[in-house]
A and B are shown apart, each in its own frame.
Chain A
Amino acid sequence: GQQVMQIPQYQHVQEGEDFTTYCNSSTTLSNIQWYKQRPGGHPVFLIQLVKSGEVKKQKRLTFQFGEAKKNSSLHITATQTTDVGTYFCATEGSGGSNYKLTFGKGTLLTVNP
């Protein structure tokens, strides 16, 4: 399956600051998904990006897929304590079908109120 590197591993911010996590691959990705896992919880789907250069927004969250489809980012504007958790990117194996979804190691976000 595809290997993706996710950085940073940890990020601590003051409430109100912005936050960005990056997902990078050495090979072209067919698509990428982002998930959030609250402490003690299970991963919950946030978004899927498919097109080169795609940008999607969900309230304070902005997701981007690189032009070369080798990287992606998740940006949170003005973090809140409810944003605490681990953010994972995930990508599928070869063939263009969503059958072998592998995850990055995640970025743990903590927010100081």
Chain B
Amino acid sequence: NAGVTQTPKFRILKIGQSMTLQCAQDMNHNYMYWYRQDPGMGLKLIYYSVGAGITDKGEVPNGYNVSRSTTEDFPLRLELAAPSQTSVYFCASGATNEKLFFGSGTQLSVL
């Protein structure tokens, strides 16, 4: 049972490049989330999903896109990367009214 798996762990992008952060969970959870965490700061919700085919914006969605074609996968897409998107990205999943399980994070630098 792997839990929540995020790839890659580290990535450096140039301004204007695109990339997809992968997230997969094997716990059959309906809910999945993407958060970003800037140094010394809290977690800000980017996008979330309540089930396959359903996604919605969080607090800071600009510059990102998501899709949820299966229960297991919830990739986060960055288009036209900007330095302001330098952060640590966490994916999480959970069942109804229960705790969240977090992945180990992706450290992204945009230079």
Main secondary structure of the interface of B (DSSP, over half): strand
User: Taking the complex as formed, is B45 at the interface, i.e. its CB lies under 8 A from any CB of chain A?
Assistant: yes
State which of B41, B48, B96 has its C-beta within 8 Å of the C-beta of A100: B48
Interface residues on A, range: 20 to 34
B100/A105 in contact, CB under 8 A: no
User: Which residues from A are CB-within-8-Å of B43?
Assistant: 43, 88, 103, 106
User: Taking the complex as formed, is B94 at the interface, i.e. its CB lies under 8 A from any CB of chain A?
Assistant: yes
A-binding segment of B17-25, B74-82, B101-109: B101-109
A43/B45 in contact, CB under 8 A: no
User: Which residues from A are CB-within-8-Å of B58?
Assistant: 1, 100, 102
Rounded to whole Å, the gap between the CB of B80 and the closest CB of chain A is 26
In Å, the complex CA distance between A45 and B59 comes to: 21
User: Which residues from A are CB-within-8-Å of B45?
Assistant: 1, 100-103
User: Taking the complex as formed, is B110 at the interface, i.e. its CB lies under 8 A from any CB of chain A?
Assistant: no
Rounded to whole Å, the gap between the CB of B72 and the closest CB of chain A is 18
A31/B105 in contact, CB under 8 A: no
In Å, the complex CA distance between A98 and B58 comes to: 14
A103/B99 in contact, CB under 8 A: no
Main secondary structure of the interface of A (DSSP, over half): loop
In Å, the complex CA distance between A50 and B35 comes to: 24
Give a binary string over B11-35; 1 marks a CB under 8 Å from any A CB, 0 the rest. 0000000000000000000010101
A99/B105 in contact, CB under 8 A: no
User: Which residues from B are CB-within-8-Å of A97?
Assistant: 96-97
User: Which residues from A are CB-within-8-Å of B99?
Assistant: 33, 45, 48
A44/B102 in contact, CB under 8 A: yes
In Å, the complex CA distance between A6 and B99 comes to: 20
A99/B31 in contact, CB under 8 A: yes
User: Taking the complex as formed, is A42 at the interface, i.e. its CB lies under 8 A from any CB of chain B?
Assistant: yes
Interface residues of A (CB under 8 A from B): 1, 6, 31, 33, 35, 41-45, 48, 88, 90, 97-106, 108
Interface residues of B (CB under 8 A from A): 31, 33, 35, 40-45, 48, 50, 56, 58-59, 90, 92, 94, 96-105
